[in-house]
Amino acid sequence: MSSHQQIDALRVDLEVKMRSVGSVAMLRVMEEAVSGDRATKALHAPSRAPGFSLPDETSQTVSLAERLRDGPVVVVFYRGEWCPCCIQELDAVQWNLERFKLLGASVLAVSPQLPIFSRRCIRRHGLDFPILHDAGGHVAAQFGVDWKVPIELRELYLASNVNLEKFNGEGGWALPLPARFLIDRQRTIVYAEINADDAHRMDLGGLLTALDGLQRQASGP
């Protein structure tokens, strides 16, 4: 079995298990993380976004400050290639990428997964935006969306052959909560969304509406 087929098999296996009894536990813990302390710690509009520079999938350093010189930036926190719902979210971003560009924005995905998996993800899904390597989830922590997978859920991951220490390396069990932020050129967060509902994550309507409003403000009356 090729490496691509292995990844596909992992995704299917994990998705089946997440829809079983394990999915109830996963959703419960994720909802508690989003609605509890994490929700109060996560940055929201109109907070100032942390500055960061991270290596992309080709080891080239990408700076938020440099991207903001060209216009607003959409930052998407992404768990990894092994996560079917995360892949669907990135696909949705790619499908809407021309709309983002027309509205003057660029996109940065941020993930703790190792660059080798990000390169494969970009190649296989035809993504035209970078996936930055947030080793140990330090940038996710600055945005307040870091999350440590509880011990009881690690067994579910491992039973699905998803060893996050393999995918992420050091600090492998630290994951970002599903989150996306729209940051204007002054580094102000003008839109923030954190949601444990995987189905809802495919809907970019709120983000696009916020970006459209930002462009209208920049264009003036």
Q: How far apart are CA 161 and CA 90, in angstroms?
A: 22
pLDDT at 29: 56
DSSP H helices in the chain: 3-18, 21-35, 37-41, 64-68, 84-95, 97-102, 115-125, 138-142, 151-159, 164-168, 205-219
Q: How far apart are CA 179 and CA 198, in angstroms?
A: 11
Q: Are 128 and 95 in contact (CB under 8 A)?
A: no
Which range of residues forms the domain containing residue 114?
Answer: 3-219
Query: Can you tell me the mean pLDDT for 172-177?
Result: 88
| 168 has pLDDT over 80 | yes
The mean pLDDT value of the chain amounts to 83
Residue 128 burial class via C-beta count within 10 angstroms: exposed 0-12, middle 13-18, buried 19 and up: exposed
In total, how many domains does the chain have? 1
Banded model confidence at residue 38, pLDDT cuts 50, 70, 90: low
Closest to 52 measured CA to CA, from 118, 139, 125: 139
Residues 75-95 pLDDT 10s = 999 999 988 888 989 999 999
Identify the CATH number of the domain in which residue 65 sits: 3.40.30.10
What pTM does this model have? 0.83
Parallel/antiparallel/unpaired status of strands 146-148 and 131-133: unpaired
Banded model confidence at residue 200, pLDDT cuts 50, 70, 90: low
**How many CB atoms lie under 10 A from the CB of residue 161?**
13
Residues 3-29 pLDDT 10s = 444 444 544 555 554 444 455 455 455
| 211 has pLDDT over 80 | yes
Q: Is 208 helix (H, G, I), strand (E, B) or coil?
A: helix
